[in-house]
C-alpha cells in the first residue's frame, strides 16, 4: 500500500512541475517493464474501489482530471496482468484512461504532455487490435473502431493548437504520428473511405511533413501510397511508395528490430511493385529475390516483357497466385490494369499480328515516359 501512496505522490509532483520525462516514466505501458511489474505487485491485492479511494486521499491536487487519470491508469495496470482479465477488459480500462488523459491534454498549456499522448495512442491501437482478435468471427472490428474515435478526438485537439509558432513546442508535433495510427486502424477496418476527411484535416493544420522525423514521413507516405493505389491514382501512389521504400531504415545488428525493418520493407516493395507493373515498370530481380517476392511477381513480369498473353491470364487465374494476391489486396488491381497491358502479339505460326480491339495504338501524348529506376 505504501508503494502505491508513493507512486501517487510522485505523479502529482511531476505533473505540478510539468516534468514531461518524469510524468511519462510513471505512466508505464511496456508489458515487460520492471517498474511496471513492481507496481502491479503492489496493486495485486487492491480492489478498484480501494485504488480510487487511495488516489483521492493521497493526491494533493485540485485537479479532478489528474486524479481520474492516475486512478484509471492504476486500474488498467493491474487489469493488464490478471489472468481473469480478457483483452477486451484490458482495452476498456486503457480506453477509460485515454479519455481521462485527453481531458488533461485539452488546455492550451498542456503541450508538455505530447510525448505521453503519443505513447498512450500507440498502446491504445495495439490493445484494440489485440482485443478484436478475441472475436475473430465478429462481422465488425468493434474495438478498433472505438479506438479510431478516441484518436479522432486527439487529432482535433492537436490540429486546433494555436499556442506556439514553433513546431517543437506545439501539440502539432504529434500530428503525423497520430495520423499514421489512424491510417493503420482505417486499413485494419477496411474503411479507407474515411481517409479523405483525415487527409483534408491534416492539410488545414498547415504543417510541412518534411519537418517531422523521417520514420513518420516514411510511414505516412506508405499509407498514402496504399490509399492512392486503391483509388487507382497510380502516378501519385508510385511517388509516395517510392519515397517510403527509398527512405526505409537500414538494418541494424538487433535481430528483433531487423525483422521488423525487413518485413516493413517487404510490404513497401510489394505495393510499389504492384503499382509499377500497372505502369509498365519493372523492379530489379535482385530486389524481388532479396525480399522473397520473386516467385509471386516473376511470371507476371515475364508475360509482360514477352507479350505472352496466355501466361498473363494463366498467372492471374492460377489458384496459388490468386490466393496470395487477394490476401495482399492487390488482385483486383492487377486483374483490371494488367489485362489491358498487352495490346497485341505476333502469331508466329500464322505469321500475323494480332491486335487488341481497344486502343491498340495509343496516341503519343497519352503515353508518359518515366525515367526513374527502382534501386
Which 3 state secondary structure label does DSSP give 354? strand
Q: Range of 94's domain?
A: 2-205
pLDDT score of 340: 61
pLDDT score of 134: 82
Q: Is residue 315 part of a domain?
A: no
Kindly report the pTM of this predicted structure.
0.87
pLDDT score of 201: 92
Q: Is residue 273 part of a domain?
A: no
Q: Is residue 293 part of a domain?
A: no
Whole-number Cα distances in Å, 352 to 33, 200, 345, 349:
72, 53, 9, 8
Whole-number Cα distances in Å, 286 to 25, 178, 251, 259, 305:
45, 35, 17, 19, 17
Q: Is residue 96 part of a domain?
A: yes
3-state helix, strand, coil in the chain (%, to 5): 70, 0, 30
pLDDT score of 350: 58
The HSE-up count of residue 313 (CA atoms within 13 Å, CB side) is: 5
pLDDT score of 82: 83
Sequence-distant (6+) residues with CB within 8 A of 139 are none
Q: Is residue 278 part of a domain?
A: no
Q: What are the residues facing 74 on neighbouring strands?
A: none
The grid cell for 170 is: 506545439
Query: How far apart are the C-alpha atoms of 160 and 110, rounded to whole Å?
Result: 13
pLDDT score of 368: 44
Query: How far apart are the C-alpha atoms of 177 and 182, rounded to whole Å?
Result: 9
Q: Is residue 219 part of a domain?
A: no
pLDDT score of 375: 38
Q: Is residue 56 part of a domain?
A: yes
Q: What are the residues facing 346 on neighbouring strands?
A: 353
pLDDT score of 22: 96
Q: Is residue 157 part of a domain?
A: yes
Domain count for the chain, please give it.
Answer: 1
Whole-number Cα distances in Å, 348 to 108, 341, 345, 351, 353:
75, 20, 9, 5, 9
Ranges of residues in the chain with a pLDDT under 70 are 136-140, 164-165, 340-375
Amino acid at each position: 500500500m505504501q508503494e502505491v501512496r508513493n507512486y501517487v505522490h510522485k505523479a502529482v509532483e511531476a505533473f505540478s512541475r510539468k516534468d514531461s520525462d518524469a510524468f511519462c516514466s510513471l505512466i508505464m505501458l511496456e508489458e515487460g517493464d520492471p517498474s511496471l511489474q513492481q507496481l502491479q505487485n503492489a496493486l495485486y491485492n487492491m480492489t478498484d474501489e480501494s485504488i480510487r479511494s487511495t488516489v483521492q486521499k493521497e493526491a494533493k491536487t485540485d485537479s479532478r482530471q489528474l486524479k481520474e487519470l492516475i486512478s484509471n491508469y492504476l486500474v488498467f495496470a493491474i487489469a493488464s496482468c490478471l489472468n481473469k482479465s480478457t483483452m477486451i477488459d484490458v482495452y476498456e480500462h486503457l480506453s477509460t484512461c485515454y479519455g481521462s488523459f485527453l481531458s488533461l491534454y485539452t488546455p492550451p498549456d498542456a503541450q508538455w504532455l505530447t510525448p505521453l499522448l503519443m505513447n498512450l495512442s500507440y498502446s491504445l491501437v495495439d490493445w484494440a487490435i489485440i482485443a478484436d482478435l478475441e472475436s475473430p468471427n465478429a462481422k465488425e472490428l468493434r474495438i478498433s473502431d472505438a479506438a479510431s474515435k478516441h484518436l479522432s478526438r486527439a487529432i482535433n485537439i492537436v490540429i486546433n493548437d494555436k499556442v506556439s509558432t514553433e513546431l517543437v513546442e506545439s501539440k502539432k508535433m504529434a500530428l503525423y504520428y497520430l495520423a499514421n495510427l489512424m491510417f493503420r486502424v482505417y486499413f485494419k477496418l477496411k474503411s479507407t473511405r474515411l481517409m479523405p476527411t483525415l487527409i483534408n484535416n491534416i492539410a488545414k493544420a498547415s504543417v510541412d511533413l518534411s519537418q517531422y522525423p523521417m520514420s513518420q514521413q516514411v510511414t505516412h507516405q506508405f499509407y498514402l501510397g496504399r490509399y492512392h493505389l486503391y483509388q487507382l491514382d497510380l502516378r501519385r501512389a508510385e511517388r509516395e511508395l517510392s519515397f517510403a521504400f527509398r527512405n526505409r531504415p537500414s538494418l541494424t545488428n538487433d535481430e528483433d528490430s531487423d525483422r521488423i525493418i525487413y518485413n516493413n520493407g517487404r510490404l513497401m516493395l510489394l505495393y510499389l511493385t504492384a503499382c509499377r507493373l500497372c505502369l509498365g515498370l519493372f523492379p530489379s530481380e535482385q530486389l524481388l529475390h532479396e525480399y522473397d517476392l520473386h516467385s509471386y511477381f516473376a511470371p507476371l513480369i515475364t508475360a509482360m516483357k514477352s507479350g505472352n498473353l496466355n501466361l498473363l491470364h494463366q498467372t492471374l487465374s492460377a489458384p496459388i497466385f490468386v490466393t496470395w494476391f487477394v490476401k495482399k489486396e492487390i488482385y483486383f488491381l492487377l486483374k483490371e490494369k494488367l489485362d489491358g497491358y498487352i495490346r497485341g502479339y505476333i502469331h508466329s505460326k500464322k505469321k500475323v499480328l494480332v491486335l487488341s480491339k481497344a486502343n491498340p495504338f495509343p496516341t503519343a501524348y497519352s503515353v508518359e515516359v518515366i525515367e526513374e529506376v527502382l534501386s
